[in-house]
Chain A
Amino acid sequence: RKEVEQDPGPFNVPEGATVAFNCTYSNSASQSFFWYRQDCRKEPKLLMSVYSSGNEDGRFTAQLNRASQYISLLIRDSKLSDSATYLCVVTGSNFGNEKLTFGTGTRLTIIP
C-alpha cells in the first residue's frame, strides 16, 4: 500500500461548482498534513495546512479524519484559476522528522 494515495483524476468541473477530493495515508502515527498546489510544469506551493478540527481558507476547506486516516479538500465556487494538480502531503511520525511524503496528485480542470 502506498504511504499516501490520491485519486489521480482528472476531475473536470464547471466553473462555480463545488468539488471535493480525498487522500488516504497509511501511517497512523503521522503528525501533520497539508495540501500543496502544483500548476502545470511549475513548482509545488503550499495551499493550506490541515488541522484536526478542520479549517477554512476562503473557498477552501480541509478536513482530517484520523480514525479513517484520510484528509479531504473542498473547493467551493470554483474558479478557472483553481485548475491545477493538488498534492496531498503527510509528515513523519516524529516531530523534527521533516520527511514529507507526497501523494501523486489529483488533477483538477475547471471548465468555463
Chain B
Amino acid sequence: DADVTQTPRNRITKTGKRIMLECSQTKGHDRMYWYRQDPGLGLQLIYYSFDVKDINKGEISDGYSVSRQAQAKFSLSLESAIPNQTALYFCATSDFGDLRERAIWEQYFGPGTRLTVT
C-alpha cells in the first residue's frame, strides 16, 4: 500500500465551486506539504505544516486554505476555484529529526491530483 495517498486522483470542476483535496500518510511523519505543478514552472509550495498546530503559507497560498486534521491528514481547499488553478497537485511528507541529518530533507510525495477548473 502507498505511504502517501491523495484523493481524488482526478477532478474536473467549474469556476466558483469549492473543492477539497485530501492527503493521508502512514509514514508517521510530522511534516506535510502541498505543492502545485504547472508545465514550465516546476513545483511551487502552497502550504506546509510542521505539526498539527503549525500551519505556514508557502509561495502561492492566495486562493487556497488548508486543514491539518491529524498527524496523518492534511487537506487543501480551493474556496472558489478559478481556471488558473488548473494544475497537478502533490502532497508530500518529511520526517523531523536531527537538523543536520540529510534524511529530513527527503520529501515523500503522493501520486498527485490532476485538477481541471472549467
Q: How many residues of A contact B (CB 8 A)?
A: 22
Interface stretch of the complex, out of A11-19, A56-64, A66-74, A93-101: A93-101
Q: How many residues of B contact A (CB 8 A)?
A: 22
Complex formed: what's the CA distance from A42 to B106 in Å? 17
Find out whether the CB atom of B40 lies under 8 angstroms from the CB atom of A99. no
Known: A32-B105, A91-B105. A98 touches B94 (CB 8 A): yes
Known: A8-B40, A103-B42. A46 touches B106 (CB 8 A): yes
Complex formed: what's the CA distance from A4 to B94 in Å? 21
A interface secondary structure, majority:
loop
Find out whether the CB atom of B109 lies under 8 angstroms from the CB atom of A43. yes
Known: A42-B111, A43-B110. A98 touches B42 (CB 8 A): no
Chain A residues in the interface with B (C-beta under 8 A): 4, 8, 32, 34, 41-46, 49, 87, 91, 95-96, 98-100, 102-105
